[in-house]
Amino acid sequence: MLPEQIAGLGPALTEFLGVFRNCLGECRLTGHFATYCRGLLSNLQRKSVEPIALAGGNTVRALQMFLTNRVWDHLRLRDRLQQRIAARHAPVPGTFHSPEDLGVIGPIDETSVAKKGDKTPGVQRQYLGSVGKIDNGIVTVHLGYVHGDFQTVLDSDLFLPEGWAENRDRCRDAKIPDDLPYRPKTTIAVEQVRRAIGNGLHFDWLVFDEGYGKAPSFLFDLDALGQTWIGEVPKSFRCWPALPKYHSQRREFASKEVRNVVRWSPAFVYQDWQAINFPRQTVEPVVWDVKAAQVYLVHQGRPTDRTYWLIVAWNRGADEYKYFVSNAPPRTGLDLLLKVAFRRSEIEHLFRLAKSEVGLDHFEGRSYVGLLRHMILCQLIVLFLAEQTQQLNAQIAASVVPPGGPVAADPPAIKPQAATPPPIGRPQGGKSRLSIRTGQPESIEPNQAVANATLPDAQVPSAGSAARHDGADSRFAELAVLPMA
């Protein structure tokens, strides 16, 4: 990025945050709101209340009270955030979609944070995907938004384990409302989708992993919402390759595991493997061999009235099998289904960015309200970065000289504007500073790593990228962490 671009981030953030200040109620809270958001955007090593308050010239107690006890409508702020995305970034209904445009994808996934104590809301020994084992920590459920190169997080909620929900005294100590019961993660995800739809968002696809796909009730709840989905299911997921002759518990009439359906059903046995090539950004393309057929799912012990896609994908190199189920129409192209299914990795990429650059996993406290507000404010900053990155990439692309045309001496400086912005990355070795107290840059110098990350000749992966790699991603300008005075 150029110095002029970095200098424009402070005013752009101020204008962006101003859109949401009517959710705060008291005017005196706007200063704390701006301080906390600038702290999440800063280069602080730890983005919890105390470091942000000390760096921003606030008292720790005042900022802690803003996050946990002061009266302001964080749920309305979350709704306003979703409404902004629907108004500014959602495609206009009825407009033409190019063949490469997969439409709006809503990835559903969870993330986790390891904790040492027992006071953080929802903390207990449970499986944590972030460490790959059962450990002490919390789990949160999220809904993302992906359309082309624009990616952000729509919703976040805490998974409250049954042990917590049954101990209401412990819940009250953590400021968890009495009317918040135990909810399976699939129920939380359905509520998030319903809320997003109510705020004007439309999804062409919902995608999820086998942790959610293993529950048929979750799939039927998405059906009831009128959503088109494709998700991974475990190999033990059950279905019928054809309608059974009788409703009986006898083995020949019972539902079958998908791994056996794929292995023994005539619908798959007499079908050739189709090789589908998925390009990736920084590593070699991956080839998956696939087969697919229409099957009947199990609903209350009986076959469903309609058929669903069952897809098996085989990576010969790794000898890995994946199973997918979808309610897409039978005439849907198989390559389209797989391209959409593999874009679930986008939300994992967002999790890495939100944790490493915005401090999603840096919350320290004992208040459920504080945890929820921290996650919503992180969503807000991720949206700001998403919008800024989208704008900068679009303007850089517009300045590219066509092949054979005149070569421009220097690209024009681009000043970010808050009206339209995109995700994140850490400047490598830059010395620019964005003061959390004033919002103005200090000691600005160009960051060559950032400039390189947004060069027009950077390779951008196709919409069907099968996996996200940790290498540089030109879709996310390195805006996120400007050093804090």
Residue 121 belongs to a domain: no
Residues 6+ apart with CB under 8 A from 83: 199, 200
How many CA atoms are closer than 13 Å to the CA of 83, on its beta-carbon side?
A: 10
Residues 6+ apart with CB under 8 A from 284: none
pLDDT at site 346: 84
Q: How confident is the model at residue 399 (pLDDT cuts 50, 70, 90)?
A: confident
DSSP state of 443: S
Residue 264 belongs to a domain: yes
Assess whether pLDDT exceeds 90 at residue 450. no
Using one digit for the tens of pLDDT, what is the confidence trace for 334-353? 999 999 999 888 888 889 98
DSSP state of 42: B
Residue 453 belongs to a domain: no
Range of the domain at 317: 229-327
In a 3-state reduction of DSSP, which class is residue 81? helix
Residue 319 belongs to a domain: yes
The H or E element that residue 433 is part of is: strand 433-434
Using one digit for the tens of pLDDT, what is the confidence trace for 217-270? 999 999 999 999 999 999 999 999 999 888 877 888 899 999 999 999 999 999
- The model's pTM: 0.82
Residue 170 belongs to a domain: no
Residue 311 belongs to a domain: yes
In this structure, what token pair is assigned to residue 400? 């590219």
| CA-based radius of gyration for the chain | 24
CB neighbour burial string for 140-153, b if at least 16 within 10 angstroms, e if fewer: bbbbbbbbbbbbbb
The domain tally of the chain equals 1
In this structure, what token pair is assigned to residue 82? 């979703």
**Residue in 134, 139, 140, 137 with CA at minimum distance from that of residue 118:** 137
Residue 413 belongs to a domain: no
Residues 6+ apart with CB under 8 A from 167: none
In a 3-state reduction of DSSP, which class is residue 107? strand
The answer to whether the beta carbons of residues 425 and 458 sit under 8 Å apart is no
Mean pLDDT lowest among 50-54, 107-111, 393-397: 393-397
Assess whether pLDDT exceeds 70 at residue 197. yes
Residue 281 belongs to a domain: yes
